[in-house]
Structure 1
Amino acid sequence: MHLPALLTALFLFLLPASAQFQFFEQMFNQGGQQQQAQPQNMGSDSVWYQQQYEAAPCDKYLCPHTLSCVHFPHHCPCAFPDVEEKVEFGDGSMACVSKGGFKEGEALRKIELARKGLL
């Protein structure tokens, strides 16, 4: 009679320990899986961009900043229009510059002052 009671006591003692180890095993395994599922940072080289640029379908002018296909370089949009202002130059080129302040055209005004050597 002592053997069944001993086995029952041993089973009741080992069952919580087994469940505890399964809990930790699942916790650590899921933690490892979650880390693998997180997106990786982009590489620091330009290979990805070059691949996108070369694969972009365009029979006109491909804007280098946005990969937009336009008729002329000065038609390119700014990549971040909320914080950039597009400045078109007389030679058919353009640039996107950080907005210069609260007034519309402030960036263009500063560029013109710099071109004249006044800034």
Structure 2
Amino acid sequence: MSINVTAAQLEMIKQQMSEANQQSHFVIFKTIEKKTGRIQRLITDHSSYEMIRRDHDEMELVIERDIVPITDALARWAVAENMAATNGEQAQVGRDLEDCMNAVLVENKLPANGPASY
């Protein structure tokens, strides 16, 4: 994994996430494609989840963890998510995001997502 953050940076990120969490808490939800039955788990804030749910009627969306705790794993996921948004073309960034996402899923006692193709 190419995500390197110091303990101090991790604490700062967690503080920022805690502040954002007061506006709209983080959730883990699964998407189930209606045609294929393919399941994917994702992390976002509750407000974004509601927008995604309204915009994607080709999928069933189910919240599996409401109010996800702010942990080191979630903070690393946030860093990976940010890197993917700015450097999404790089395969390693996608793998890092997948690894960080799966770490949060496992930490929250949910199955990890299967491998994606990057």
TM-score, length basis structure 2? 0.20
Task: Decide which structure has the larger Cα Rg and report it.
Answer: 1
TM-score, length basis structure 1? 0.20
More strand, by proportion: 2
